[in-house]
Structure 1
């Protein structure tokens, strides 16, 4: 028997208490999973119309098939839905490239700006005829766009905030502390209402700003405050000998941070940053409060169609599956990156 199987056997049945917990857990899972299996697979309706689903006793996955494009693209014109599809491919491709350390060069920053700008122009119709207003955007493309833009902008801002909070300059440190604690003490819903109601009043001459841009402007500093605390924890984990060695080599403050401290600190906080990234992705569902049709809001609205009224369970389960694939992929990537960047600890 392999070591892993032996460890699993001991963990499940190593003691009478462990054996009892294992048996009770299996019984509870059987009690819960069995009806879900019958509802979701065995008795489900996979094709047909809403009338066919009404005759069945299981889940109506024909609804997901009928509303698949709406959940992905919301109200975007059907004839132009190839645009958000290309945007989704571009954004996911950018994620895949960014996730590989061999591409961590200055050119990657240029790629971020190019992909984000191209995605915006493609969605709005700047690059091709037929302009599509942002109130028709929605679904997975908008969720990915807002998430990537906000997280991408929040990361460098968070690094500066973390450095400022550890600065020896009292005024700068105080400002950083006030900003971080104020943002972390404010609900994200309140931040979104500020983006919707307060921010437009601060714009001179009554100019209007796209609601997606308003969301990015307010969410970015909000997320940066949380990221800053995670990065500050990584900075505190760096031994003082690293600073002393950099000073002995004649490196200034910024060169020390760039070449010595930040690479190690960011490596220490990979799990925390990925955890926050996953949480931020799930938090994009709150964009519905300012009228942005993200993935979850599009799924909910799809079940209000009079022809498919009331199939909320199927809609939410499909949206949950998409969220799960993105989040589970991120968690597995975090484990891989930790092992890939593992280095002997220096003192």
Structure 2
């Protein structure tokens, strides 16, 4: 037999590789993310070329040539020398936004009463910030004040007609105030109602299960505009003769029910992701059904679907613009309404107003997105970032 060693037996050790570098400089990030390969290099160069073509002109139009102060359309026009007619138009007409800023925020709410929505906004911020901070104490009391006491106080402050406050009809409400009210109510109602619907859809009781499935599938099968029309037109038909419901309240009901159906499916996805052993372990400890749900299953399910929950909230916040279909003017609706003002009709007014409205929507949506990421990291969902 051969005495030679088999060919696959190593007789020398591999030279040790150098440790991975931990270069966190800007140059290293650029090299790794933009120029790591020939394809990345080509795409990065094309993208940079497009940015250099677009950004200077956009900045020039948005800021350099923009009109910032004024009380009518004349400040957004370039007047021909020696004449009274404009021979061209400047950049963005921010003077239009500045002149109508309060209307964009409060709608047609009376000037002398605007301290009331301002006070409501301050109260909302004061109650919302502590509940968003994980380490803030007294979360139960904070939640009670925010979701129970605050809506009642806000209703009396905004509508008036009580405690010596002048009555302000809801058709006068508008702007960002309406957007925030619809969003807050929709979020506050859709999450608990969505949880109930998700549990009902998984119930072993056929009647409860079929009712929840029917509600979810019907609401998810029609657009929000249809739900708003039904709330605005059909809801009064189910009321006793002589009874009526305010149009704004109808919109609140429609938006909240619509968001609840989508939230139910998000929560149901989280419930299905929980291993069966969790429920069996809770049963072995002698926990009741509701103890098992609220102490074991639901906390894990909600933690898993935080991105889906926040995505539903963001969609709800943007969908509030559809209430203009039924005569309510949210931020986008009140901005568009001012396009028809003769004193501000210019070719650049609409695009300036839409950019302003889009920026406000982006601030709130981006804030919710960033907070979602923060909560995922805080709760350690196990996703790599």
Q: What is the TM-score normalised by the length of structure 1?
A: 0.94
Alignment of 1:54 with 2:77, yes or no, is yes
Q: Aligned residue for 2:350? A: 312
- In the alignment, is the contact (CA less than 8 A) between 1:287 and 1:293 conserved in 2? yes
TM-aligned CA distance change 1:75 to 1:218, over 3 Å: same
- In the alignment, is the contact (CA less than 8 A) between 2:105 and 2:331 conserved in 1? yes
Alignment of 1:285 with 2:307, yes or no, is no
Q: CA deviation at 1:27?
A: 1.2
The superposition leaves residues 256-303 of structure 1 with CA deviations (integer Å, 9 ceiling, x where unpaired) of 001111111111111111111011000000010111111111111122
In structure 2, C-alpha distance between the alignment counterparts of 1:169 and 1:201, rounded to whole Å: 31
Could you tell me which runs of 5 or more consecutive residues in structure 1 were left unpaired when the two chains were aligned.
Answer: none
Question: Match for 1:299 among 335, 343, 348?
Answer: 335
Paired residues in the alignment total: 345
Q: CA deviation at 1:127?
A: 4.1
Question: Match for 1:74 among 100, 107, 116?
Answer: 107
- In the alignment, is the contact (CA less than 8 A) between 1:70 and 1:302 conserved in 2? no
TM-aligned CA distance change 1:212 to 1:239, over 3 Å: same
For the residue of structure 2 that corresponds to 1:204, the secondary structure is coil
In structure 2, C-alpha distance between the alignment counterparts of 1:93 and 1:288, rounded to whole Å: 30
Q: CA deviation at 1:171?
A: 3.0
Q: Aligned residue for 1:160? A: 196
For the residue of structure 1 that corresponds to 2:66, the secondary structure is coil
Q: CA deviation at 1:217?
A: 1.7
Q: Whose Rg is larger? A: 2
Q: Aligned residue for 1:16? A: 38
Query: 1:269-280, aligned counterparts within 5 Å?
Result: 269-280=305-316
In structure 1, C-alpha distance between the alignment counterparts of 2:96 and 2:242, rounded to whole Å: 43
Q: CA deviation at 1:344?
A: 7.2
In structure 2, C-alpha distance between the alignment counterparts of 1:76 and 1:343, rounded to whole Å: 44
Question: Match for 1:205 among 230, 241, 259?
Answer: 241
- In the alignment, is the contact (CA less than 8 A) between 2:127 and 2:142 conserved in 1? no
For the residue of structure 1 that corresponds to 2:374, the secondary structure is helix
Q: Aligned residue for 1:89? A: 122
TM-aligned CA distance change 1:262 to 1:325, over 3 Å: same
TM-aligned CA distance change 1:20 to 1:344, over 3 Å: closer
Q: Aligned residue for 2:98? A: 65
Superposition RMSD in Å: 1.9
Q: CA deviation at 1:7?
A: 4.8
Q: CA deviation at 1:106?
A: 5.4
Q: Aligned residue for 1:342? A: 380
In structure 1, C-alpha distance between the alignment counterparts of 2:382 and 2:369, rounded to whole Å: 23
Question: Match for 2:55 among 26, 30, 33?
Answer: 33
In structure 2, C-alpha distance between the alignment counterparts of 1:3 and 1:176, rounded to whole Å: 54
Query: 1:101-250, aligned counterparts within 5 Å?
Result: 101=134, 102=136, 103-105=138-140, 107-125=142-160, 126-250=162-286
Q: CA deviation at 1:305?
A: 1.8
Q: What is the TM-score normalised by the length of structure 2?
A: 0.85
Q: CA deviation at 1:83?
A: 1.3
In structure 1, C-alpha distance between the alignment counterparts of 2:294 and 2:33, rounded to whole Å: 44
- In the alignment, is the contact (CA less than 8 A) between 2:310 and 2:368 conserved in 1? yes
In structure 2, C-alpha distance between the alignment counterparts of 1:29 and 1:99, rounded to whole Å: 37
TM-aligned CA distance change 1:213 to 1:256, over 3 Å: same
In structure 1, C-alpha distance between the alignment counterparts of 2:340 and 2:163, rounded to whole Å: 33
Q: CA deviation at 1:87?
A: 2.0
Q: Quick check: which one's helix share is greater?
A: 1
In structure 2, C-alpha distance between the alignment counterparts of 1:87 and 1:263, rounded to whole Å: 31
